[in-house]
Every structure is written in C-alpha cells, then in structure tokens.
Structure 1
Amino acid sequence: MRLKKSLGQHFLKDKGVIKRIVDAGGIGPEDRVVEIGPGGGALTEEILKRNPLELYLVEIDPDWAEYLKNRFGDRVKVFNADATTFDFSSLGENLKFFGNLPYNVSTRIIRNLLDHRKVMKRGVFMVQDEVADRLTATSGKEYGYLPALLQNFFRIKKLFKVPPKAFVPPPKVMSAVFEMEPTGFNMEEGELLAFENFLKKAFSMRRKKLKKNLGIKKFPPPFSGLEEKRAEEISPKTFFELFRALYLNKGGL
C-alpha cells in the first residue's frame, strides 16, 4: 500500500530502533497499551511480542486500519480515528502509550493526551528531533508555551535520536524518541484552559517583557520583579505559581 504525504507518514523499518522504543515502555502482561499511528504495524508486531493484556491501535488512515485488522486479527482492537481528538479515556485506565507520531500533527496529539492524563501511565513517542528539544526545554529560544504547560503535568525526557535511514521513506530531518510520565499534578478543565491562554499571552511576543505581554505592570509578592523578565526566562513551575496567584487575586483571568 502507498504512503500518504498528506498524513505525514514515514514508517519505521529499523528493528533495532523498534526494539529500543518498546523496551523503553517496559510492557508487562498486565498492561493495556495504546499505539498511535501504527501504519503498517512494525511497532505493533514488537509490542505484541511482550503479550500485553490489551493492545489498542488508533489509525486515521482507513486503508491502513483495515490492513491492521486483517494482519493482526483479534490480537488487537483497531480504531479508525483521529488521535488529535480521540477520547482515550474510553479505553480504560493506566494506559501505556506508544507511537511514531505523524510529524505534521505530533504536538496536537500530545496536547490531546494532556486532556487524558488521568488514564495515562506512561508514553514513549517518536517525533522530529527539534520537537523533542522543544518539549523538553525549560528556557531559551526552544522553550515555548506548550512545554511550559506540559511540564507541570508530565515528566518529559528525551531518550535517543533516530536517523532518517531508519524510515521508509526517509524524512529530511533527524527524529528522536522521548518519554512522558504524568506527575499526578492536576487542575480543573476551566482552570487548565485559563492557564493555557495565560501562557500563550506570555509567549505571544517573545522579545517583549512579561509586563507587556500580560498587560500587568507589577506582579504581587513573591513574584515582584518577574514582570521585567521575558517568558523564556521563567520555569514551568514558576509560571503556574504566578498564574495561580494572579488567577486567585482577580477571581479568574
């Protein structure tokens, strides 16, 4: 079957890399596993060798979804669905996630996983190397609103790089595998959306100071002076603490 450029499909072929990815997830016979974007099933095959309790495949391409059903039969449950909007909570709890994420929507999938963090035990994903660098950044030019948001909810660690030759067809960029594990930190949906919007405002003009981007001349103690800094200088934890102080002070931003 043909790969589809519109879906950002680059299938992993290097068996050594495939084994390293699955090893990083530590799958046991009691685990319920979700694979996002399985495509032709190279990663799926390796996951099945670990005999998980359940393996759910979420594949947006109807042709590949049908192929996966035929190839693996009742050993998997296939969902022909969009992982950027899929309700992963419908699959149960304590889920382990894997995926060679389509490059064009990888951050949207990861953002959707934030909304389903309560059912996530661990995730091991492959993305563009520069995306992995952004997700794990805590300061500087690669650091933005998404890592500032995600790192309050997940421990995110870059594991290893993957060269273009490991894929069919080979992408034009280096890839990387990273892991993310929920910290247990939580907040209500309304507050989460307000926090996300707060971070987007903070990073809206990267060279401007926070007092300009947020429209607040003076921050309350103990954050006095931070208004003179740029967003890329503020850690994820400090951003949340600042948001909470301003949010509670104003009864909602």
Structure 2
Amino acid sequence: MKLLRYGPSGQERPAVLDAAGAIRDLSAHVDDIAGEALTPEGLARLATIDPASLPLVQGSPRIGPCVGRVGKFICIGLNYADHAAETGADIPSEPVVFNKWTSAICGPDDDIEIPRGSVKTDWEVELGVVIGKGGKYIEEADALSHVAGYCVVNDVSEREWQIERGGTWDKGKGCDTFGPIGPWLVTPDEAGDIGDLKMWLEVDGHRYQDGSTSTMIFGVAQIISYLSRFLSLQPGDVISTGTPPGVGLGQKPPVYLRGGEVMRLGIEGLGEQTQKVVKA
C-alpha cells in the first residue's frame, strides 16, 4: 500500500493511492495515518479494503506529511561512507544519533523556509523509516518486523548552526519546515529492496545527489536495534537514516540555499518531493 494524508495543514485526512495513482479517502475506516493504524494489525485491516470501494478525491489537493501525530523524529548522521568522505569525517564506529523536532515536519511539497540569520542552509535526501510495532531491546533479526513502511525525507540542515555554533547538531536540524516527509508511506511489501534503492536530489534542475542506499554504513535493521537499546520505539516514530554524497557542504566551494530555488528529490519506488525555498 501507498498511504498518504491530504488537505490543509493541520486538517489532513487519511487516504490510500490506488493502482491508477488516484487518491482514495480512508476517513470512514481510520481517523489518521497514525498510531494504531500503523501497527501490523492496523495495516492488515487496511489491506483488506478494496481501494475502488473508497471515495475518489477530486482535483489536486495538498499532500501532507505521510504520518500524523509523530512522537519522535530520530535521525542518523554520517551513515553513508561516501558522504562521510566528502565532509572529511571519519567512518563512525556506532550510529551518530540526533533529533529533529516534530515541529519541523511538513508536507513533501510545502515551501522550505530559510531561517532568519541563516547563511548555510543545505539539503539531504534520506530514506525514512516509520515504526509500526513498538518495542525496546529489539533484536536485529526481528527489527524489520517493527517497520510500518518507508518514505522520502529531506533532512534540511543549517550547517553553521549545526557545526560551528557549539553544542549538539540539533539546533541546525530542527527549524520549522526542515522535515518534509512523504508523499507516500510505502508498506514493506511494496518498497522493494531497501538496501539498494536509488536516491537523488536536484536544485534548480542541477543534480547534486545521485546515490543509493547500498552505501549505508548501518542498515535499517541495525539502526532500529541500536536505537531500541536507548529508548523505546512507538508506532508513528520516524527514523531518517542518513544521506548519500552531494550535499551543499560537500561542494567545492560549498553551495547553500539562498531563497528562490526549487528542490526536487526522490527515492526509487517511494515517490518524489518538490519544494520552493523561501525566506522566513
């Protein structure tokens, strides 16, 4: 299934994409793509519904974040060997963990705001993992059974605030609009080989990132198991798993967003995002 949420910000309705790519409303069956609907039992119930029996959504509504009521937005840094090399960082011996605040979450095609005072706003296309079955101390062999689905994430980042201003990375990662997710939450049966998905990002038509999940240092199962040692995971938690090379910081000289640009990004089988960059 490809699950989604559509409508004005804060008023999104649950839906599913049918075989023809049309949006079908799920409001009669679930109140949101969130919580219990993301559990194995909840997804199994949704899978029994014939999309053709659901109301067809007319027109071209705004697509919202593909998951609602996100409890935690956890990110993994420097998780691609070739990206670590372009930034001059050592290959980490354990996953680098940081957070985006849930207030950063926005729709996949919403505008991205450059915060006031920012001079180094950057991009990162990433594979997002949405938890469906909660737990802690999860064994790596069982970790993928805890996944509700996968999605595209743009881990927008302010590099000066992340790297040069002291403290942790979080203040450069969690600004409003710095976490577009979607368009779809793609369930594991339709997501393909998550260890070998092509991923890309363009700014004003120039392709900066053109990579694959195959160069991840820590795979999805490793990441879930690792995180569950330190915190419990709950349905609807989002994990952003790192980016391939080609970020603005890695260009020579570095290239950053100034306002007015259009970003396009996507992951094979998981859909695409398009965002205009504006000044806050």
Q: TM-score range by the shorter chain?
A: under 0.3
Calculate the TM-score normalised by the size of structure 1: 0.27
Structure with a larger share of its residues in helix: 1
Higher Rg of the two aligned structures = 1
Q: Higher RCO, 1 or 2 (CA under 8 Å, sep at least 6)?
A: 2
The structure whose residues are more often strand, as a share, is 2
